[in-house]
Chains A and B, each alone.
Chain A
């Protein structure tokens, strides 16, 4: 089986709706884990895995595949959801999240599950690893693209900026970072905990190519991802690209949206039922 590629926005929106339901269904039996981040990034992950990414779930080790490095490993449920939906593994595994013996570790572990490129959890380390992969690809003359998914909060880690410097120095044009700019972190709003604005100005000053989008607008996400990939393939020796994706944490479930309290907790049975009902209602409204 090769990769499923969806080209219509409504098909992608329906897939993102499936992914959100998967996230809720995964977190309920897990009884711990993060809800807001995965829901907020469901559109981006869907656009990536079901439209833009060069990959083959039947051959997860194919050397020509695009690499996906998830730096903020705590949003693992959204990664597991798209990998399962794409056919990397049996979706029955969703219910084993965070349980003893499961390949769906609380934070992703390289080698535990097909499609997982790196182990992550401690923040601020993914971009560096993605830089290493991008350097290796350039040394070997390979044409694949390295995607690195990061959070805004992990830009408070100094190491992130060490990697930002290195990527610009080595002109890692084959590297695309997608930052989840959702303005929340565990203790509150990012701009209260540690002001990060202006992210775009900072990245421009560090010699990156900057694209800003509404990360919950599927059409905008597809356009930005496609443009970034085309640029990465044709200009691998140019400035690295960042897509700053403004997302609504908890997107799709009204009582979770923009609530930092939902950063690090799972829904209980009642909340999951309400959430799934809301998602079902939204699904019906997606235009054909």
Chain B
């Protein structure tokens, strides 16, 4: 028994499984977007905390040195300086590794940026388990939770380099604070210039009727792989790219929960407080169905290769497939 797997044509995706598929990290898309926007948007300023090349703000620095502020190893100061710039009409972008920003400067983001609802757009780079060999200290597995709980803060987690570029541009155009989660690992680029991107709107990458896999970031590609594999064993899985964790697209989530009867969430983040938590909250309000969450189960990571760790902690396609079986069993039991 098999069912067919097909990408949603209206999403205008490139073949994610093509052997020659381009691979690039999401941080590149963000960095290019800043440099691209700098020419037209004279109010755009960028701040760094000694990691400009790593977080790809060095491209902006090279083009617009007078609008680049190097804060040194001082993430707390960077967040508050950005707030000061935004209060004077600037659109302030800043970035550092997710464990430090928003990890170390949560208070500054809360009081200086979120409470004042300022035009500050900031990314936590090297987020998730895929940062790999640096180990648990450098693996931001809690940043979505930290940012999602703050009023006024919009939370984005793009799934590939192209989408990260669009996310940075959408953030600049949106009023108020936006957090963007980025990764270091090169992953397949399967969205195209023609793929839609709207903050707060889930992209249904593949339709399905047995289970809805809701993913964000690097695991979106793993979800596509899982859906393809599941089709071969007769399971029809929808793949929802939930690039906006806040405000979450309740409507599409409820629609697919109703249609499929069970949901799997996939993220490289703690299973509490992140995408999985957000989806459970939304569905509890709108359409309660069994949800199985793939992610870090309330523990710290360790050193290893990025994709090797995804596999080790069950966040890869195989882990998602396992979760799908569990979710479908729960659905059957509830009938």
Contact = CB atoms under 8 A, between A and B. Distances in A.
Interface of A: 69, 109-111, 117-122, 125, 128-137, 139-140, 158-159, 162-163, 165-166, 170
Interface in B287-326: none
Contacts of B72: 162, 165-166
A128 B116 contact: no
B80 interface: yes
B81 interface: yes
Contacts of A163: 77, 80-81
Interface in B207-241: none
A51 B79 CA distance: 33
B111 interface: yes
B85 A162 contact: no
20 contacts: A69-B84, A110-B115, A117-B87, A119-B112, A125-B107, A125-B111, A128-B76, A128-B81, A128-B108, A128-B112, A131-B81, A132-B82, A134-B84, A135-B85, A136-B89, A139-B67, A158-B76, A162-B71, A162-B74, A163-B81
B87 A139 contact: no
Contacts of B76: 125, 128, 158-159, 162
Contacts, number: 99
A128 B85 contact: no
Interface centre among B77, B84, B111 (most CB of A within 10 A): B84
Interface in B77-134: 77, 79-90, 92, 107-108, 111-112, 115-116
A206 to B, nearest CB: 13
Nearest to B107: A122
Contacts of B279: none
Chain B interface size, as a band, is 20 to 34
Interface in B10-46: 45
A166 B74 contact: yes
Nearest to A160: B77
B179 to A, nearest CB: 19
Interface centre among B77, B83, B87, B92 (most CB of A within 10 A): B77
A258 B90 CA distance: 42
Given A132-B84, A135-B69, A125 B74 contact: no
B116 A110 contact: yes
Given A139-B45, A159-B77, A166-B74, A130 B107 contact: no
A158 B87 CA distance: 23
A129 B83 contact: yes
Interface centre among A110, A129, A135, A165 (most CB of B within 10 A): A129
Given A110-B87, A121-B111, A122-B111, A132 B80 contact: yes
B84 A136 contact: yes
Q: Is the interface of A mostly helix, strand, loop or mixed?
A: helix
B334 interface: no
Nearest to A130: B84
Contacts of B116: 110-111, 118-119
Interface of B: 45, 66-67, 69, 71-72, 74, 76-77, 79-90, 92, 107-108, 111-112, 115-116
Given A118-B116, A162-B74, A133 B85 contact: yes
A162 B87 contact: no
A137 B71 CA distance: 18
A180 to B, nearest CB: 20
Contacts of B80: 125, 128-129, 131-132, 159, 163
A119 B115 contact: yes
Contacts of B66: 139
Nearest to B89: A136
Given A125-B108, A129-B112, A158-B76, 20 more contacts: A109-B115, A110-B87, A117-B87, A118-B112, A125-B111, A125-B112, A128-B76, A129-B80, A129-B81, A130-B84, A131-B77, A132-B80, A132-B83, A135-B85, A136-B87, A139-B90, A162-B72, A162-B76, A165-B74, A166-B77
B316 to A, nearest CB: 40
Contacts of B84: 69, 128-136
A133 B81 CA distance: 8
B114 to A, nearest CB: 10
B68 to A, nearest CB: 11
Contacts of A139: 45, 66-67, 90
Contacts of A118: 83, 87, 112, 116
B61 to A, nearest CB: 15
B328 to A, nearest CB: 48
B176 to A, nearest CB: 13
Contacts of B83: 118, 128-129, 132
Nearest to A159: B76
Contacts of A121: 111
A165 B82 CA distance: 16
A69 B80 CA distance: 12
Contact of A133 (B71, B88, B111): B88
Instruction: Name the 4 nearest CB pairs between A and B, nearest first.
Output: A132-B84, A128-B80, A136-B88, A162-B77
Contacts of A120: 111
Contacts of B86: 132
A128 B67 contact: no
Contacts of B79: 128
Contacts of A132: 80-88, 92
Contacts of B112: 118-119, 125, 128-129
B177 to A, nearest CB: 13
